Amino acid sequence: LLPAGKDRQTKRHNQFGASSEELIGRRRETGSQYSIGVQRLPFGAQNISIDDFVKAMPARLQNQHDVTRGGVRGVSGTYSGGGGVPAGVEFELFVHNSKIVFAAYMPYSVIKDRTGGTRKPRENERELDKPGEFFESLKFP
C-alpha cells in the first residue's frame, strides 16, 4: 500500500555479495517515505531465523516486538540509526524463502534534515501517513 502517484522509484543494491531491490514511495502531502525491499540472503545464511538475523544486524531496533503478516513471523521496531538509515525509521523485517523482506516508514520529520527538506513537518503527519495501514497491507505469497 505505497502511496499512489508518480513519486516512486526503484533502487537496486548489491551489498555483502547479495543483491536487493527496493521500491520507494513518497506521500506528497507530508513528504514521508515508504519502502518495501527484498534481499537474497548470502549462501550459507539462507536458513537464518529472523531472531538471529536481527541479532546480527549492526544497528538495533528500539521498541522491538514480534509481528505476523500473511502467516510469516517477523520483527517490528524503530531503527536506532546507522548504516545510512536515520534513527526513528520504523521497520518490519521478515525472513521468507531465503530472502530478507523489509517494509519501512520514514516520517518526513525524521528524514527532512537528511534530504534537505525546507518545509516544516505537518503536526498531524502520522495521522495523514497512516503507517499502520501500510504495514498491515504487507502480504506474502
Alpha-carbon torsion, ordered 36, 17, 80, 30, to 10 deg: -30
Residue 129's pLDDT is 93
pLDDT band at 17 (very low <50, low <70, confident <90, very high): low
Q: What share of the chain is helix, strand, coil (3-state, %, to 5)?
A: 20, 40, 40
Residue 103's pLDDT is 94
Ranges of H-type helices in 1-141:
50-56, 108-115, 125-129, 131-136
Beta-carbon contacts of residue 8 (< 8 Å; ≥ 6 apart) = 2, 23, 24, 25, 26
Neighbours of 90 (CB within 10 A): 21
Q: Is this structure's pTM higher than 0.95?
A: no
pLDDT band at 109 (very low <50, low <70, confident <90, very high): very high
As a whole number of angstroms, the distance between CA 36 and CA 105 comes to 9
Is a pLDDT exceeding 70 seen at residue 74? yes
List 61's β-bridge partners, or say none: 79
Query: Nearest 5 degrees, angle CA 135-CA 139-CA 141?
Result: 160
Is a pLDDT exceeding 70 seen at residue 89? yes
